[in-house]
């Protein structure tokens, strides 16, 4: 499994489209049982192709975050089939899922989730440590990632010394430092004011344009969703709308 290997589209029905990297077939996520049963995901079918920028929307409790965790291999479905780049994720164990996340996915969270009391550079280096990258190379790559998000010179600042927008940029640098093909963002602007939020979104758009990565983003703000090319709208664990932002958000 190498993140740099490009997929070929071997789907005869859609030969002109980019290959599908995520295919979900009839996915269920069920908590509890009997009368207390909650269907966080209730039979979701979904295909996301390489290079897409997808926003996942829906009211709270609609299953959008659950779907995101499922895509990010942080959670496994109760039933259904999830093929990630053709690999059935349902057959992987905990550590194999971890390796999948390490090599193919970068995560950004609403609350940034940086390690407190550790400086920006060390936070960005963290994924490379697990990849066994040497210290000198790690340094260089982390510095480069921080430069890309416009934080050159703030390497030694700890999260508490940075603004929310800057913290989220560190998180983006951390997500991108391993050069994953997919970026997963869970409410990336949820804790930021409008100006900062727009800054972060333009950053993501720019990175996608430069690297051709796939971005999947959960948000409840239509303004933010408009940055995406495609919007998935969830209600009660079901995918009810799927289309370009103008259609879905109208």
Binding site for other proteins (CB under 8 A): 69, 72, 74-75, 94-95, 98-99, 101-103, 107, 109, 113-115, 117, 126-127, 129-132, 134-135, 174, 178
Nearest distance from C-beta of residue 233 to other proteins, angstroms = 23
Give me the least distance between CB of 178 and other proteins, in Å please: 8
Looking at the Cβ atoms of 126 and 196, the one nearer to other proteins is 126
Q: Report the nearest approach of other proteins to the CB of residue 116 (Å).
A: 8
Nearer to other proteins, 74 or 235 (CB): 74
| Measured distance CA(243)–CA(121) in Å, rounded | 39
Which C-beta is closer to other proteins: that of 109 or that of 164? Answer: 109
- Separation between Cα atoms, residue 234 and residue 63, nearest integer Å: 7
Q: Name the minimum Å distance from CB 123 to other proteins.
A: 9
Contacts 24+ apart (CB under 8 A), 220-228: 220/57, 220/58, 220/59, 220/60, 220/187, 221/189, 221/197, 222/57, 222/249, 224/55, 224/189, 224/197, 225/55, 225/57, 225/249, 227/53, 227/55, 227/201, 228/53, 228/54, 228/55
User: What is the rounded CA–CA span in Å between residue 78 and residue 29?
Assistant: 5
Residue keyed to tokens 């920006």: 120
Element at 249 (helix H, strand E): helix 245-249
DSSP letter (8 states) at residue 27: E
Nearer to other proteins, 22 or 248 (CB): 22
**CB of 243 vs other proteins, minimal distance in Å:** 29
Report the residue number, 30 or 249, with the smaller CB distance to other proteins. Answer: 30
């Amino acid at each position: 499994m190498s993140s740099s290997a490009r997929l070929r589209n071997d789907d005869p029905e859609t030969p002109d489209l980019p290959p599908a990297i995520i295919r979900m077939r009839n996915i269920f996520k069920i908590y509890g049982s009997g009368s207390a049963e909650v269907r966080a995901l209730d039979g979701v079918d979904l295909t996301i192709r390489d290079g897409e920028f997808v926003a996942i929307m829906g009211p709270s409790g609609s299953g959008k975050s659950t779907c995101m965790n499922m895509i990010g291999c942080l959670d496994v479905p109760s039933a259904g089939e999830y093929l990630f780049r053709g690999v059935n994720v349902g057959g992987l164990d905990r550590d194999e899922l971890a390796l999948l996340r390490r090599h193919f996915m970068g995560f950004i969270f609403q609350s940034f989730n940086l390690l407190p009391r550790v400086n920006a550079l060390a936070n960005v280096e963290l994924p490379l440590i697990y990849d066994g990258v040497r210290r000198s190379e790690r340094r260089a790559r982390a510095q480069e990632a921080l430069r890309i998000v416009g934080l050159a010179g703030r390497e030694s600042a700890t999260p508490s010394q940075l603004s929310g927008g800057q913290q989220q940029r560190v998180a983006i640098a951390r997500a991108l430092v391993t050069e994953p093909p997919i970026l997963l963002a869970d409410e990336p602007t949820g804790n930021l004011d409008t100006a900062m939020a727009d800054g972060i979104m333009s950053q993501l758009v720019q990175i996608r344009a430069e690297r051709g990565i796939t971005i999947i983003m959960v948000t409840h703000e239509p303004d933010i969703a408009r940055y995406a090319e495609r919007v998935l709208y969830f209600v009660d664990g079901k995918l009810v709308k799927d289309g370009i932002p103008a259609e879905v958000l109208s």
